[in-house]
Amino acid sequence: MSYSKNFFIISFCLFVIIVLSYRSIIFADFVWDDKFLVFENPLLRAPLWSFEIFRQDIACSNFSNTIYYRPIQILSYALDYRLWAISPAGYHLTNILFHFINALLVYYFSLKISKNKIAAAIAGTIFVSHPLNSGVVSYISSRADILLFMFTLAACLSFVFYKEKKCAFWVPVLFIIFSIFSKEAGIVTPILIFFMDIVLYYREEKINWRFHSCGMGIMFLYFISHRYFFSSRYNTILNGQNYFVFFRDYIGILSEFFRSFVLNIHEKFLIRRVIEENTRVFMPAVFFAVCGLLFFYLKNNRRLIMFAFVFFLTALFPMAFVVKYFNVYGEHWMYLANYGVILIAALFLSRIYAVLNFNVIGKYAGIIIFSAGIIFYSFFTHWNTIYWRSEETLNKHVQSISPSDNVAMYYSAVGLAASGKNEDALALGEKYTNKNPNEARAWYIKARLELASGNVESAELDCEKAIELNPLYDDGYIGLAFCAFKKNDEKKAEEYFKKALTINSKNIEALLWLARIHAEKNDNETTIAILEKAKKISPYKYDVILNLGTAYSRASRNRDAAREYMSAIKYYPEKAMPYYNLGRIFYDSDYKKYAKEYLGKAVKKDPFFMPAVELYAELMKK
């Protein structure tokens, strides 16, 4: 069978498996971080030529809320937005497509380094079908992990081509940069390539020190610059690191990985319950023992076993810092490390296939049975991804597995507060604070929940506790400002907002509220100055554009107001308010034709927006 035909058949099989596995995800909604990374993220709407994506963190907060600089991830969302607008189905479809591309990379890279078609096919099949990856594919915000895998494996593959003189020097270097700009864990990519060069090619060829110097240089340059910009955050993560605790956490991550890798089986299977009772302690030791046995048993594949083993351990290394910082374990962080274990499993299964020495009929029968088993396995395990359909089902599922999961507790509390269940939300907020008593953000979240329940005094104490834990926590002062609002002490609220801005001059929330205070005083000049400053910081944020337009309108600067409203319509065409405000300007300026046009669009966008409906009805009568 020709190579192209073989590749086509494998691709088709992987495509069928991925369609069966993730057929329900297309209809899932935005959940958890998807809301501020995609749904509310102004970076997606910014013109690509503005390079705003490359100047901001992932949440467009001017690095005040996050330390994550992932322009490739946000660029992929921006391209999605131009195709699908804010429909979650399109973003899920892109995740599935990228997962399919990664499966093809797994197959081709495994084939390239092993020269074993069966092992490569098995690796691709396990990768595309294993439910451990379902969280990554189902969660739009995990696009970073998918892109990290794609560019890391592309860098490794292109380095192999470079060694064979079939690829230019800059191609793997470019993929290294892309992997780092997809997710911070991409700094391990040069290390993985270095180990690959040593383990797989050292005896045949000399180590390419020129390339590795370049790769390591990129890694250290990124690390140093990132730490320089976010030294306070890195002090939390890196400084005072107890190496014994770090090693213990790393072993714990290994245990959790194997627990997830083995236990992602439908609950009806007895094997799940049997393994669950014996996984946490013994699985890392069992894995090391199995790798050792395979190293001696698979004599022709010793280098590959060693490379896969090192790949797995190295790819997991950054996670030890993340788990320590966030105090939570995320399966989607294991996406890259999966490949090492999958390659070892594929080599072992291909060896069994070879030992059985099937005849021609037996070989085809074996392939059919294996494929049918994979499809059956996918069908009865991936349907569990139905819990990704909504945030409510996701929160319930995660908390049923891990009741103390930080992320699930936070979003559950926020969801309960939004639905008016303030007492339940507050109870969950207290549980979250008890689990994270030294985290300023936890006390701030509890304060917001206390405010929603009307407990102003308790909210003040919680905000003060947050500031006590971290005097530079600007959100703590914003919380105190909200408490002052509840007490009708606008002057005190203004002082707190200004205090927050002395800590972080780019805090958009504080600027917007400060502008609102001055607007209520009819101080149009100061209001406009504050909002113009906010727009320089975040030029594509909806609230900034709309409020600036309103401030211009109040100051009778209708031309400037119309410009801002047109800008809001351009970047947020689904919103009704900019159409209404622009129509109102035309109405007041006696341009009835244009007023009717924009008011009609406002009513079409939101038929229940009564100011637009009433004014449009009045115009239609005339």
Q: Domain segments of the chain: what residues? A: 3-30+87-385
CB-based contacts of 10: which residues, under 8 Å, 6+ apart? 107, 121, 124
Can you give the pLDDT at residue 266? 42
Can you give the pLDDT at residue 101? 94
CB-based contacts of 250: which residues, under 8 Å, 6+ apart? 316, 317, 320
Among 166, 163, 186, 184, which residue's Cα sits nearest to residue 174?
186
d(CA 135, CA 532): 41
Question: CB-based burial of residue 17 (10 Å sphere; 0-12 exposed, 13-18 middle, 19+ buried)?
Answer: buried
Q: What is the mean pLDDT of each run of 10 residues along the chain (622 residues)?
A: 71 84 81 84 83 81 76 92 88 92 93 87 86 82 92 94 85 93 90 88 75 87 74 46 62 70 48 43 66 71 84 82 63 82 84 67 61 61 58 69 68 74 79 82 86 86 89 88 89 91 88 92 91 90 92 90 92 90 87 87 89 84 70
Can you give the pLDDT at residue 91? 92
* Chain centroid to CA 145: 7
Length of the chain measured in residues? 622
Can you give the pLDDT at residue 114? 86
Among 327, 328, 337, 320, which residue's Cα sits nearest to residue 243?
320
- Model-level pTM? 0.86
End-to-end Cα spacing for the chain? 76
Can you give the pLDDT at residue 360? 54
CA distances from 198 to 185, 205, 294, 340 (A): 21, 9, 20, 16
Can you give the pLDDT at residue 40? 83
d(CA 102, CA 365): 27
CB-based contacts of 491: which residues, under 8 Å, 6+ apart? none
CA distances from 479 to 332, 414, 446, 538 (A): 32, 16, 10, 22
Among 207, 179, 229, 201, which residue's Cα sits nearest to residue 63?
229
Coil vs helix vs strand at 267: coil
Can you give the pLDDT at residue 577? 92
Can you give the pLDDT at residue 366? 62
Among 172, 23, 26, which residue's Cα sits nearest to residue 94?
26
